[in-house]
Amino acid sequence: MSRSSLIPLHISARRTALLLTAVSVALTASACATSGTTDVDTTATATRAASPTPTAEPALTKKEALAQITRYSKINNEANADNNRKLLDTIEDGPLYAMSVADYKQDEGLPKADRKKYKPWSYNLASTNVYIPRFTAGQQKWFAAVTYSGKNDKYPRLLVMAEQATTKRWEMVASVDLDDKKQLPKIALDTEGYATAVDATSTKNVAAPVDVLRAGVVDNFATGGDMSGKKVFATTKTSTRQIKVHDKTIHKFGTRGTTAFSSAAAEFTDSYALKSSDGSAIVVFAHTHTQRDAVARSGLQIVPDKDDRAWLGTTPSPYFTYTFTCSDVATVPTAPGKSTLIGYTCRRTDAQGMSTSS
């Protein structure tokens, strides 16, 4: 979150049953015999055939999924080397792209001496598990992966890649570090090793749909979870981290200023969920919230921190409003009960003040 400081004012989605009659009228078959004539009325009606059930097919193979992750890493390095937004846009979308572009902007707002030299990286595919759902024609295709790093695969990261409808390119839409790999549920797989996607927007599938999860996360920031956050989520390292952001930040100015967190219109409403072996679901979603800093009295101004300057410049203002785009990961039961936050990541993606919005 922003670490601005206060200074005095002067500084800064027929077969028709064919009725077969003969020539649209009853067909009469006549036969001649010495004993007389018999007329037989014959009509035939075709039965209505049932529509075939759409076949769900895997989004892609495991080998293809890993190849997409490798491609992502390669192009991501090329784009990050010189903050190439156009190139990055070919491999990222949704909240992840918004956060990455924000990182570019922040970096470009720093003095050159303060900019860190970029270090190329790649995912260890030997320590990566892919979870590929089946989809029917017309559904958006996506898959998830969990990749590990560090000694004994200590640090897990959950990835989601989705196929774009128009370009058919696979792009990364979420990348979230998980706080504790022991909380990661075992994903349910069918006999061929494929996962099952879940619609997490409906209470038919999960106890807490995405809108409820999103509101609970925002409340963790806004009130420390007192209104709904602690009712929706069990206490975990992740939920505690969000609440600590609230508790620490609202007091950062002491008596000289105030900080308030609020919900913002969700810019990215897509969610991605997989069924776990215990019948629950692991859900990836995004949220947006704001942070408003303001002075407590006249005669004071807030000076932008150096990491804020790409948005705010260096001119002080009596208030600033920061917008944060975040990705969250939670495990959600099907029966009534609390959900469990297991990871989240946020980036400041906008900032406004009196001097920048006027």
**302-356 pLDDT, tens per residue?**
999 999 999 999 999 999 999 999 999 999 999 999 999 999 999 999 999 985 5
Angle between helices 210-223 and 237-249 in degrees, nearest 10? 40
Could you tell me the pLDDT band of residue 182, with boundaries at 50, 70 and 90? very high
Helices (H), the chain: 62-81, 85-88, 94-108, 210-223, 229-232, 237-249, 309-312, 354-357
Residue 170 has pLDDT above 50, yes or no: yes
Is pLDDT of 25 > 60? no
For the record, the structure tokens of 144 come out as 């998830």
Q: Are 351 and 315 in contact (CB under 8 A)?
A: no
pLDDT at 345: 98
What are the backbone angles phi and psi of residue 316, rounded to the nearest 5°? -65, 160
Residue with tokens 């990491």: 307
- Residue 8's pLDDT is 37
Read off the pLDDT of each residue in 155-163 and give the average, rounded to a whole number: 98
C-alpha distances (whole Å) from 69 to each of 12, 64, 161, 331 are 45, 9, 8, 24
Contacts 24+ apart (CB under 8 A), 355-358: 355/312, 355/313, 355/315, 355/316, 355/317, 356/311, 356/312, 356/313, 356/317
- Residue count (the chain): 358
pLDDT higher than 50, residue 32: no
- The pLDDT-based confidence of 79 (bands split at 50, 70, 90) is very high
What is the C-alpha radius of gyration for the chain, rounded to an integer number of angstroms?
29
Specify whether the CB–CB gap between 341 and 218 falls below 8 A.
no
How high is the pLDDT of residue 51?
58
Whether pLDDT at 38 is above 50: no
Please give the Cα distance from 77 to 94 (Å, whole number): 19
Compute the distance between CA of residue 72 and CA of residue 156 in angstroms, rounded to an integer: 18
Mean pLDDT over 133-151 rounds to: 96
Tens-digit pLDDT profile for residues 81-128: 999 999 999 999 999 999 999 999 999 999 999 999 999 999 999 999
What pLDDT is attached to residue 26? 36
Mean pLDDT, rounded, for 213-223: 98
Residue 18 has pLDDT above 50, yes or no: no
**Residue 159 burial (CB count, 10 A):** 24
Closest to 322 in 3D by CA, of 268, 262, 250: 262
pLDDT for the residue numbered 354: 80
For residues 58-67, give the mean pLDDT. Answer: 98
Tell me how far apart the alpha carbons of residues 304 and 289 are, in angstroms, rounded to a whole number. Answer: 19
Q: What is the pLDDT of residues 230-283, one digit of tens each?
A: 999 999 999 999 999 999 999 999 999 999 999 999 999 999 999 999 999 999
Residue 69 scores a pLDDT above 70 = yes
C-alpha span between 303 and 318 (Å, rounded): 9
pLDDT computed for residue 118 by the predictor: 94
Per the prediction, the chain carries an average pLDDT of 88
Flag whether pLDDT at 11 surpasses 50: no
- Per-residue pLDDT at 54: 79
E-strand ranges in the chain read 5-8, 19-20, 27-33, 36-42, 44-45, 57-58, 128-131, 134-135, 142-149, 155-163, 170-177, 257-263, 272-275, 281-295, 300-303, 319-332, 340-353
Q: Above 90 in pLDDT, residue 193? A: yes
69: buried, middle or exposed (CB in 10 Å: 19+, 13-18, 0-12)? Answer: buried
3-state DSSP call for residue 205? coil
Q: Cα–Cα distances in Å, from 330 out to 23, 216, 274, 298, 336?
A: 65, 11, 11, 43, 15
pLDDT of 194 > 60? The answer is: yes
User: Would you say residue 50 has pLDDT above 90?
Assistant: no
pTM of the model: 0.84
Note the Cα 95 to chain centre separation in Å: 7
What pLDDT, on the 0 to 100 scale, is given for residue 105? 97
